[in-house]
Structure 1
Amino acid sequence: MTAPLRAIFGPERPPHTTARPGDSGARRRIPLVMWAAVAWLVFVGLHRALSGRVWWWQLPELVPPLAFAAVPVLLLAAALAARRRRGTAVVVALASLTLGGGVSGINLASLWHHAAPAPPDAIRVFSWNTWYWDQRAEGGEPMPPPTGTPPRDAADFYRYLRAQDADVLLLQEYVYFSPGSRPIRVNDLDRLRREFPGYHIATASEMVTLSRFPIVLERGLDLRPWAEDGSDTPVPPGSDWPGFYTVKTLRTDLRVGSRTLSFYNAHINSPVDPSSTGLDPRRLTRTEHEARKANLRALAADIQANPLPAVLAGDFNASPAMGILRLLPERMADATPALGSLYPATWDDRWPWWRIDWAFTTPEITVHDYRLVRSDGLSDHSGQRLVISLSR
Structure 2
Amino acid sequence: MTAGRSTVTTDEPVRTAGDADRPARRRRRRTRLVLGAAASWLVFVAAHRVLSGRVWWWNLPDLAPPPAFLAVPVLLLAVLVLLRPARRVGVVLVVAALVLGWPCAGVNFATLWHRPAPAPPDAVTVFSWNTWYWDQLVRTGPGGEPVRDPDRFYRYLRAQAADVYLLQEYLYVDRQDFSPLPVTDPDRLRREFPGFHVAVSGELVTLSRFPIVLERPVDLRPWLDRQWPDLPPAGSSMPDYHTVKTLRTDLRVAGRVLSFYNAHLHVPITGLPSRGGGTAWDGLARYDLRAADYRALAADLADNPHPVLLAGDLNTSPAMRLIRALPDRLVDASRAIDSLYPVSWAGHGLPLWRIDWVFTTTDVTVHRYRMVPQGGLSDHRGQLVVVSIPSCRERTSCR
Change in Cα spacing, 1:36 to 1:188, as seen in structure 2 (3 Å) is same
2:380 aligned partner, one-letter code: H
The alpha carbon displacement at 1:324 in A equals: 1.7
Contact 1:232 1:287 (8 Å CA) reproduced = no
Contact 1:31 1:85 (8 Å CA) reproduced = no
1:301-329: per-residue Cα shift (whole Å, max 9, x none)? 11111010000000011111111212211
The one of 163, 169, 175 equivalent to 2:159 is 163
Query: Normalising by the residue count of structure 2, what TM-score does the alignment of the two structures yield?
Result: 0.85
The alpha carbon displacement at 1:26 in A equals: 8.5
Matches within 5 A, 1:78-157: 78-136=79-137, 151-157=147-153
Contact 2:60 2:269 (8 Å CA) reproduced = no
Secondary structure of the 1:353 match is: strand
The alpha carbon displacement at 1:276 in A equals: 5.2
Return 158-167 or 107-116, whichever deviates more: 107-116
The alpha carbon displacement at 1:119 in A equals: 0.5
Change in Cα spacing, 1:82 to 1:62, as seen in structure 2 (3 Å) is same
Secondary structure of the 2:291 match is: helix
Return 178-187 or 165-174, whichever deviates more: 178-187
Which residue pairs with 2:324 in the alignment? 326
Which residue pairs with 2:383 in the alignment? 384
The whole-number CA distance in structure 1 between the counterparts of 2:314 and 2:149 is 27
Contact 1:128 1:381 (8 Å CA) reproduced = yes
Change in Cα spacing, 1:233 to 1:120, as seen in structure 2 (3 Å) is farther
Change in Cα spacing, 1:148 to 1:382, as seen in structure 2 (3 Å) is farther
Instruction: Report the identity percentage.
Output: 55
How many residues in Structure 1 have an aligned counterpart in Structure 2? 367
Contact 1:150 1:377 (8 Å CA) reproduced = no
Secondary structure of the 1:283 match is: coil
1:119-171: per-residue Cα shift (whole Å, max 9, x none)? 1110000000011111136x9xxxx7899899551110110000000000000
Residues 1:338 and 2:339 are matched in the alignment: no
Which residue pairs with 1:65 in the alignment? 66
The whole-number CA distance in structure 2 between the counterparts of 1:98 and 1:223 is 35
Matches within 5 A, 1:241-390: 241-273=238-270, 275=272, 283=281, 285-348=283-346, 350-390=349-389
The alpha carbon displacement at 1:68 in A equals: 0.3
Contact 1:233 1:287 (8 Å CA) reproduced = no
Contact 2:180 2:237 (8 Å CA) reproduced = no
Contact 1:168 1:211 (8 Å CA) reproduced = yes
The whole-number CA distance in structure 1 between the counterparts of 2:374 and 2:145 is 11
Secondary structure of the 2:81 match is: helix
The whole-number CA distance in structure 1 between the counterparts of 2:146 and 2:344 is 19
Contact 1:366 1:388 (8 Å CA) reproduced = yes
Residues 1:203 and 2:200 are matched in the alignment: yes
Structure 2, unpaired ranges of 5+: 1-16, 395-399
Contact 1:58 1:284 (8 Å CA) reproduced = no
1:367 aligned partner, one-letter code: V
Which residue pairs with 1:14 in the alignment? none
Return 301-310 or 343-352, whichever deviates more: 343-352
1:91-110: per-residue Cα shift (whole Å, max 9, x none)? 11110000001111111111
Change in Cα spacing, 1:373 to 1:42, as seen in structure 2 (3 Å) is same
The alpha carbon displacement at 1:25 in A equals: 7.7
Contact 2:181 2:237 (8 Å CA) reproduced = no
Residues 1:231 and 2:220 are matched in the alignment: no
Residues 1:35 and 2:32 are matched in the alignment: no
Query: Normalising by the residue count of structure 1, what TM-score does the alignment of the two structures yield?
Result: 0.87
Return 301-310 or 176-185, whichever deviates more: 176-185
Which residue pairs with 1:3 in the alignment? none
The alpha carbon displacement at 1:240 in A equals: 4.3
The whole-number CA distance in structure 2 between the counterparts of 1:48 and 1:197 is 48
2:46 aligned partner, one-letter code: G
The whole-number CA distance in structure 2 between the counterparts of 1:332 and 1:364 is 10
The alpha carbon displacement at 1:235 in A equals: 3.5
1:55-78: per-residue Cα shift (whole Å, max 9, x none)? 111111122110001101111121
Which residue pairs with 1:182 in the alignment? 179
1:133 aligned partner, one-letter code: W
The whole-number CA distance in structure 2 between the counterparts of 1:206 and 1:154 is 17
Return 300-309 or 346-355, whichever deviates more: 346-355
The alpha carbon displacement at 1:273 in A equals: 3.6
The whole-number CA distance in structure 1 between the counterparts of 2:267 and 2:61 is 15
The whole-number CA distance in structure 2 between the counterparts of 1:150 and 1:84 is 57
RMSD of aligned C-alpha atoms?
2.7
